[in-house]
Amino acid sequence: MRRGLVKSSYSTAVESTISEGKVREIFRALESIGAITKQGEPNRDGTPYRVLIPDEIEACRKLRAERKAAEPKADVKESEIDFYNVRENRIKVFERDAYKCRYCRKQLTRFTATLDHVTPVAEGGDNSFENLLTACLDCNSRKHRRPVGDFLAEQ
C-alpha cells in the first residue's frame, strides 16, 4: 500500500498522494458495507481482500429494490414490449421456437439463432412476440423484407 497504491490517478499533479490513513479509512468503509471482505491475515505481500460485485453486496441489492419499488408502475401492453432489441425478451422467442429455424427446421444455438419479423417493419410490423420468429441466418437473409407467405411460396 505504501509503494504506489496511494497515488491518486485523478490528479494532474506530479506527486499527488493519498495518506495511508485515508486508504485504511476507505478499506474500513468498504468492509463495513460489505463491498470487500478480508480473505486471510496480513502477510509480507499485504492483506488479501475479495472485491464483491454489486449483486453480492447487500447494500446494492437493497438500493436496487428501493428504486424498483419507487418506480411508477406502467401498464404496458404485451404488444408494446420490445422482443427484438431486449436480450431477455429475444431469448423468450428463441425458447418458444425451441431454437429451431421456423422455415427450414434447422436446429440452432443461442449464437446462430436470429429473429425474423413475420410482417416486416417496413410494412408496419412491430417487435411484438407474435410478430417475431426464430430463423437461421441463411433463411433470414433470403427472406429479406418479404412477407412470410411470399417467401414460403418460393421454397
Which CA distances in Å does 134 have to 40, 57, 95, 96? 50, 37, 9, 9
User: What are the pLDDT digits (tens) for 2-52?
Assistant: 444 445 455 555 555 778 888 889 889 989 988 899 888 888 888 888 998
Domains by residue range for the chain, with CATH:
33-70 (no CATH), 78-154 (1.10.30.50)
How would DSSP label each residue in 13-66?
A: STT-B--HHHHHHHHHHHHHTTSEEE-S--BTTB--EEEPPGGG-HHHHHHHHH
Confidence at 1, pLDDT banded by 50, 70, 90? very low
Q: How far apart are CA 59 and CA 39, in angstroms?
A: 20
User: What are the pLDDT digits (tens) for 107-126?
Assistant: 999 899 999 988 888 888 88
Higher pLDDT, 31 or 153: 31
Q: How far apart are CA 5 and CA 45, in angstroms?
A: 13
Q: How far apart are CA 55 and CA 38, in angstroms?
A: 18
Confidence at residue 6, expressed as pLDDT on a 0 to 100 scale:
46
Confidence at residue 135, expressed as pLDDT on a 0 to 100 scale:
93
Confidence at 75, pLDDT banded by 50, 70, 90? low
Q: How far apart are CA 84 and CA 128, in angstroms?
A: 8
Q: What is the mean pLDDT of residues 136-149?
A: 80
